[in-house]
């Protein structure tokens, strides 16, 4: 067992740091009321990743497409999805959630169509949806750790600017304006989402983004800073514990175990704040 932990030490650390960073990012996205839109953008990113993998595999003999194609196409389609979702939201008619749900259904169908065009992508599609952190390569683990280590300090250093922009509607009741920090946050979020979809998968990404902030919101008013820190703690600790449990009990799937632990941990975290 000790040998097993030594093999996965870097991966556990990387996943835990990224889980904490995503949980912190999720508080900002939730404050902007972007949860449903983020689902669509993540699905668009996964569609691009699948398309890139299919093109790369098809053209590999010609050596015309690099291994960065999935990430680039994922980023392009995520940006396109973001633009389309913004236009749909501005068009009126049905509610934003209705527009986003319809867009998500279209993107999901497109993903399955691509997997039908490239049959070799069926296993990739399952992996990108459900993820398996235990299968991350050494280089992917280090890249994941690097992204998490950049994202976490950035969220701390620029906390006031990002928080002021994110919580403008909730606190001031003012319409959200396009600001420098708002644009930087939007671009940074797209890049992070695309990277996470390609490496750790759709389910882990969405769970870390929204489970901590959603469950901890039932704990009452605890202050924005405390809420962000609590979400990051839950995301990081639950990822580490869930990962370790899946290694100890090999029949447990990694990501679903992490999500179960995360939900339970977030629920337990709400009690201290209810008493304060």
The count of structural domains within the chain is: 1
pTM of the complete model = 0.87
**For the segment 213-253, what is each residue's pLDDT rounded down to a tens digit?**
999 888 766 677 788 889 999 999 999 999 999 999 989 99
Q: Give the range of the structural domain holding residue 257, as residue numbers without chain letter.
A: 2-270
Structure tokens at 273: 């704040």
Q: How far apart are CA 260 and CA 237, in angstroms?
A: 12
Q: How far apart are CA 207 and CA 19, in angstroms?
A: 9
**For the segment 58-116, what is each residue's pLDDT rounded down to a tens digit?**
665 444 445 577 888 899 999 999 999 988 888 877 788 899 999 999 999 998 888 88
Of 147, 171, 184, 174, residue with least CA distance to 19: 147
Q: How far apart are CA 67 and CA 228, in angstroms?
A: 35
Q: Does residue 203 fall inside a structural domain?
A: yes
- Estimate to the nearest angstrom the gap between the alpha carbon of 127 and the chain centroid: 15
Cβ-contact 184, 161 below 8 angstroms: no
Residue 182 predicted with pLDDT over 90: no
Cα Rg, the chain, nearest whole Å: 19
Q: Does residue 276 fall inside a structural domain?
A: no
Q: Does residue 185 fall inside a structural domain?
A: yes
Q: Does residue 28 fall inside a structural domain?
A: yes
Alpha helices in the chain (DSSP H): 2-31, 35-58, 69-91, 96-117, 122-130, 138-157, 159-166, 168-172, 180-199, 202-216, 224-248, 254-275
Of 140, 119, 129, 123, residue with least CA distance to 47: 129
Q: Does residue 275 fall inside a structural domain?
A: no
- pLDDT value, residue 169: 53
Q: Does residue 40 fall inside a structural domain?
A: yes
Arithmetic mean of pLDDT, 183-189: 87
| Residue in the structure block whose two tokens are 């990012």 | 25
Look at residue 137 and give its three-state secondary structure: coil
- pLDDT value, residue 105: 95
Pick the more confident residue, 53 or 198: 198
Q: Does residue 128 fall inside a structural domain?
A: yes
Q: How far apart are CA 2 and CA 19, in angstroms?
A: 23
Q: What is the mean pLDDT of the chain?
A: 84
């Amino acid at each position: 067992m000790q040998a097993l932990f030594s093999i996965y030490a870097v991966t556990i650390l990387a996943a835990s740091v990224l889980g904490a960073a995503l949980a912190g990012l999720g508080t900002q996205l939730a404050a902007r009321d972007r949860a449903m839109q983020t689902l669509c953008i993540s699905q668009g990113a996964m569609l691009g990743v699948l398309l890139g993998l299919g093109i790369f595999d098809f053209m590999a003999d010609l050596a015309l497409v690099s291994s960065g194609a999935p990430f680039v196409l994922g980023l392009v389609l995520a940006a396109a999805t973001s633009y389309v979702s913004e236009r749909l939201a501005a068009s009126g008619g049905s509610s934003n959630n209705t527009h986003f749900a319809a867009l998500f259904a279209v993107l999901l169908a497109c993903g399955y169509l691509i997997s039908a065009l490239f049959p070799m992508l069926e296993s990739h599609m399952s992996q990108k949806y459900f993820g398996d952190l235990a299968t991350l390569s050494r280089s992917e683990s280090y890249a994941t750790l690097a992204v998490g280590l950049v994202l976490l300090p950035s969220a701390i250093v620029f906390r006031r600017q990002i928080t002021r922009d994110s919580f403008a509607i909730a606190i001031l009741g003012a319409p959200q304006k396009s600001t420098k920090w708002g644009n930087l946050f939007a671009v940074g979020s797209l890049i992070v989402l695309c990277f996470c979809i390609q490496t750790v998968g759709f389910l882990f990404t969405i769970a870390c983004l929204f489970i901590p902030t959603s469950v901890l919101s039932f704990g009452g008013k605890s202050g924005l800073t405390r809420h962000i820190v609590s979400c990051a703690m839950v995301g990081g600790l639950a990822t580490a514990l869930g990962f370790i449990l899946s290694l100890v009990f090999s029949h447990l799937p990694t990501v679903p175990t992490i999500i179960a632990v995360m939900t339970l941990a977030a629920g337990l975290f709400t009690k201290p704040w209810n008493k304060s």
